[in-house]
Amino acid sequence: MTETPSFSLISTNKIIQMNDVWTSYDSKSFALSGVNLSIDRGTNYAIVGQSGSGKSTLLKLMNGMMIPSKGTIKMDYQTPNMNNKTFKKMMHTIGYIPQSLGLVKNISVLDNILIGALPRLSTMQSILKQFPEHEIQEAKRILKLVGLSGKESRKAYMISGGEKRRVAIARALMQKPTILLADEIVSELDHVTAREIMDLILDAQKKMNLTAIMVHHDMALALEYANRVAVMKEGKKILEIGVEGDSIVDFQAGDMGIEEIMEMYNTDAKE
Amino acid sequence: MGLVIVASYNVDANPVDFAEGMPNLGIIISEIFVLESLIDDLKYIPTALWAMLETLQMAFIGTVIGVTIGLPLSMLAARNLNSKFVYAPTRALLAIIRTFPSILWALLFVIMVGLGPYAGVLAIVMYTIGFVTKLQYESIETIDSDPMDAVSSIGVSKFQLIRYVVLPESASHLLGQILYMFDYNVRQTSILGIVGAGGIGFFIINYIKFFEYGKAAIFMLIVLITVLAIDWISVKVRDKYIIKSQHGMEVKTK
Ligand SMILES: Nc1ncnc2c1ncn2[C@@H]1O[C@H](COP(=O)(O)OP(=O)(O)OP(=O)(O)O)[C@@H](O)[C@H]1O
Ligand SMILES: [Mg+2]
């Protein structure tokens, strides 16, 4: 599992690096076993793979919600750990959208978005819920951007599944992120809505110089939107593909034979 | 059933005593309804109302102060918000406070600060802290972990997490419990007078001591009516505001 150069030699600006990362939830089995990753700043990186292959676990490691049992991770040269004060500062600008979205159900859509601005508030301002006017304007701008105009005062439990995803994206954008980690946020949506949301993220990414790491269910969608696609299987990265426009420019096979990989690609694309 | 018999034997509660006591109840009731004394007793209704008002005030102040102190303690006792080093000692402290029934707290405070409503309020405060915190930290622990994790991952402070996730997501439960606590405290405060800690119970126990059952009955009736009224109001409030918002909480993102 050597990191084949071609792409990585050109740019030395690595924002995320994982080196032989192992991790487990219990003592019985490993959720990840020996993952190597290296992601350039500004990349749109996609992770695909079967259910249970460790995609969500990868994202949780990147924002320090989990800690590897072996190996090293660097996020912009810092080791992720949510209990570490310095890394907590970095978490302010890592927009993480979990698979479950994690909206606060009993507050309004606008308040959910404003949560993304909390790190920029003083303790007193946040207790009194006094967001500065420019933050409220920014939240309203993002609200419009994600297509939620008119829904701002709805309670978060009173909107549709697609709208919930938009709120979660808006909350992450409100963080003024440098890195976006999104876990299957378009998987359950129809194709039109899924593309609408992907275009939205791509647009924000270009404007904000974001590095986006997105877990996808659909290989075709991943190839369409990402610069690089990593394929996971049983806790291992078995393949990484570089994409430019419509063509595959770089192909790094890991543990698997090419036939097995093509077979997997076909089944994933069909779904 | 067997347990009841064994327990009664232990406390010397003989069914024969109870049966022999029954005629006494008859005498008490007949005394209450002697006409001229009944009219005389009715003059005490204003006094009874004032005593009830004092009881309500005590229960209200005690509940408000108790909850004000209790809520931050519940936050410290919740396992999903703190490390073991914080929640374990807090829980131990609360468990100790909870072992005392309110009447014992009242007795303790009567000894410390003297007779009167002040001791009663302090007793209600202590009882409320012990009791309401347990209900509250348990409902805080049932909050959905998804929004907690998602908002924590932004790197917000503990205060911000409580203000923007914990309180909104548990508010309806917490309010329901506070209402229930007030309801319960009104009943409790009504009997604290027995040990001299103020409120309407003080009158009742003294009338009974001096065999003025008619007057005692008037006071008890006022307690009964008040408690029923508060019960009814809190059911209405709960139905209107709390049940409704809990209904919303069941609509989950999945
Ligand atoms: N909270 C948890 N406790 C125990 N085991 C877990 C937990 N979360 C995930 N796992 C296990 O870790 C492995 C990887 O899980 P992960 O959630 O990363 O998969 P995934 O690729 O995101 O799957 P999906 O596509 O279904 O979301 C699985 O075997 C899973 O059973
Ligand atoms: Mg997952």
| Residue-level pLDDT at A39 | 93
Position B225 pLDDT exceeds 50? yes
Give the model confidence (pLDDT) of A74-103 as tens digits. 998 889 998 888 999 999 999 999 999 999
Domains, chain A: 10-93+215-271 (3.40.50.300)
CA of B140 relative to ligand 1 center, distance in Å:
26
CB A161 near ligand 1, within 6 Å: no
Domains of chain B (ranges, CATH numbers): 37-249 (1.10.3720.10)
A237 lines ligand 1 (CB under 6 A): no
Write the ipTM: 0.86
Residue identifier of the C-alpha nearest atom 30 of ligand 1: A52
Choice among A21-25, A191-195, B75-79, B137-141 with the minimum mean pLDDT: A191-195
In this prediction, residue A249 carries a pLDDT of 73
Contact A229, A215 (CB under 8 A): no
Residues of A in contact with B147 (CB under 8 A): 102-105
Q: Which two tokens stand for residue B99?
A: 């072992």
Q: Do B156 and A107 touch (CB under 8 A)?
A: no
Interface of chain A toward chain B, CB-CB under 8 angstroms: 63, 65, 82, 88-92, 94, 96-98, 100-107, 111, 115-116, 118-119, 121, 123, 126-127, 129, 155, 157-158, 161, 164, 168, 175
For residue A86, the chain B residue with the least C-alpha distance is: B155
Which of A55, A58, A231 most suits a substitution to test ligand 1, by most atoms within 8 Å of the C-beta? A55
B156 contacts A82? CB cut-off 8 A: no
In the DSSP assignment, the letter for residue A2 is -
Q: Search chain A and give the residue with CA nearest B165.
A: A104
**What tokens does B122 get?**
């302090």
Contact B154 A155 (CB under 8 A): no
Torsion over CA: B190, B194, B197, B201 (sign): positive
Task: Give tens-digit pLDDT for B145-200.
Answer: 999 999 999 999 999 999 999 999 999 899 989 999 999 999 999 889 888 888 88
**pLDDT tens profile A154-167:** 999 999 989 999 99
A55 lines ligand 1 (CB under 6 A): yes
Measure in Å the smallest separation between the Cα of B93 and chain A Cα atoms.
Answer: 27
Pick the ligand that lies closest to the CA of residue A98: 2
3-state SS track over chain B: CHHHHHHHHHCCCCHHHHHHHHHHHHHHHHHHCCHHHHHHHHCCHHHHHHHHHHHHHHHHHHHHHHHHHHHHHHHHHCCCCCCHHHHHHHHHHHHHHHHCCHHHHHHHHHHHHCCCHHHHHHHHHHHHHHHHHHHHHHHHHCCCHHHHHHHHCCCCCHHHHHHHHHHHHHHHHHHHHHHHHHHHHHHHHHHHHHHCCCCHHHHHHHHHHCCCHHHHHHHHHHHHHHHHHHHHHHHHHHHHHHHHHHHHHCCCCC
Q: Which residues pair with A23 in a beta bridge?
A: A32
Residue with tokens 């997105």: A214
What is the spatial order of strands in the sheet that A44-49 belongs to?
A: A94-97, A179-183, A211-215, A44-49, A228-233, A236-244, A247-253
Q: Three-class SS of residue A155?
A: strand
A143-170 average pLDDT score: 92
Smallest CA separation from ligand 1 atom 2, residue: A25
| A71 pLDDT higher than 80 | yes
- Stretch B29-40: mean pLDDT: 70
Instruction: Give B179 to chain A, closest Cα distance, Å.
Output: 20
